[in-house]
Structure 1
Amino acid sequence: MSQNDIKTARIFDFLTEEESEEFVRVSEPVVFAPGETIIEEGGEPSSLFVLTSGVVEVTKRVPGDGPRKLAEIDAGDGRTVVGERGLLGSSGASATVRAGSGGPVEAIKIPREAFRAMIRAGNPAAYKLATRITRLLARRLTRLDEEVVGAIRELDRRGETDLDVFRDKLVTEWTI
């Protein structure tokens, strides 16, 4: 694993060479077999994973309906991360992330405890990453708020007031 593996993920592109090297030192390569769970919905807060190859599926449980696929993320489209909420938060994972059936998923794992130790030590690189993640989550929340307002307006326009219709639209048509 190299500095380039980390720096090619957009979430890390703001780090200096020295700062990215700090994350290289605490990270570890991991490989997930097809179908293997990377993050389990409701599970303990997890590590951050920089996806370097393969495809993952993101699903969410829907009461009375089972899991629904929210997204498919292909690392071939560019390095991306999963688990950013778990790195900062204390609540369970909001969705399940599983290696796709097409082949293994390779990733770089930044362990939650290593990141938290960096924060406790006052490490500027860790604080910069925390700030970046916070901004990312804030943008997602703003976008979700706008989509919820739009959905409510659309349901009002159509004269629908059924909460189940709204819930289904929320879960099946929007991703965070």
Structure 2
Amino acid sequence: MLTGDRLKEIGLFESLGDEGRAEFAAASEEVRFSPGEAIIEEGTEPDSMYVLLSGRAEVYRRVRGGVEERLAAIDADDGGAVVGERGLLRPSPASATVRAVDAVEAVRIPRQVFRRMIEAGHPAAYELAYRISRTLARRLVQLDEEAARAIRRLEDRPQDAELEVFRDRLITEWSV
């Protein structure tokens, strides 16, 4: 059974008070994923956020021709990674697939429960929304830096028409 003390060990929940952690422990559930199992599927609308407690997962995104390209590896032992956080804040299709590499243990926070906590004015829900927003902002900065590096690499190479189109798309579609 999930407890507030268990959540205290997870970075996302560390700033919450005992009462707030107890609220989330009661509203959440521990789930397990088998190797190869999708935690979140690209294009679907996730109804929960997951905090990975143990195990490893990989992030994939469909690219040209529907082929999946590996974007990132996640090791839960590196501090409890969060996936599906955008879907917790508002309904939106998942931008990537997150798949368990080996057995993954996670905390599942359903969007419906989170929304009810927000509507009821629970301070812990607002604190968690703030922490998630900071995580998203940090990821946007990283993405912006990656896009800038990609553009610099493209500018350093001899240009052909296809690369020029890609560079223009990258600049216009990834601008914030």
TM-score normalized with structure 2 length: 0.85
Q: Offset of 1:151 from its aligned partner?
A: 2.1
Contact 1:10 1:80 in 2 (8 A): no
Who is 1:173 aligned against?
none
The one-letter code sitting in structure 1 at the alignment partner of 2:155 is D
- Which runs of 5 or more structure 1 residues have no equivalent in the other structure? 170-176
Equivalent in the alignment of 1:137 = 136
Tell me how far apart the structure 2 counterparts of residues 46 and 163 of structure 1 sit (CA, whole Å).
38
- The alpha-carbon distance between structure 1 residues 163 and 79, as it changes in their structure 2 partners (threshold 3 A), is same
Which one-letter code corresponds to 1:130 in the other structure?
A
Q: Provide the residue aligned with 2:52 in structure 1.
A: 51
- 1:152-163 → structure 2 map (5 Å cutoff): 152-160=151-159, 162=163
Cα deviation per residue 1:104-141 (whole Å; 9 max; x = unaligned)?
21111111110011111111111111111112111211
Note the alpha carbon deviations across 1:70-115, whole angstroms, 9 max, x for none: 1121223332221111111321001111111x3x211111111100
Structure 2: distance between partners of 1:146 and 1:72: 19
Compared with structure 1, are the counterparts of its residues 165 and 130 closer, same or farther at alpha carbon in structure 2 (3 Å cutoff)? same
Show the 5 A alignment for 1:158-169.
158-160=157-159, 162=163
1:13-92 alignment, distance < 5 Å: 13-64=14-65, 66-92=67-93
In structure 2, the partner of 1:172 is none
Tell me by how many angstroms 1:146 deviates.
2.6
**Matches of 1:98 and 1:67 in 2, distance apart?**
12
Secondary structure of the equivalent of 1:30? Answer: strand
Kindly report structure 1 stretches of 4+ aligned residues shifted beyond 3 Å.
163-167
| Separation in structure 2 between the aligned mates of residue 164 and residue 36 of structure 1, nearest angstrom | 36
- Letter paired with 1:158: R
Deviation at 1:165, TM superposition (A): 6.6
Report how far residue 155 of structure 1 moved: 1.5
C-alpha contact 2:3 2:26 (8 A) present in aligned 1 = no
Task: Provide TM-score, normalisation by structure 1.
Answer: 0.85
Distance in 2 between the 1:74 and 1:143 partners? 18
Change (3 A) 1:92 1:72: same
Equivalent residue letter for 2:121: G
Change (3 A) 1:63 1:76: same
Three-state SS of the structure 2 residue aligned to 1:148 is helix
Letter paired with 1:107: A
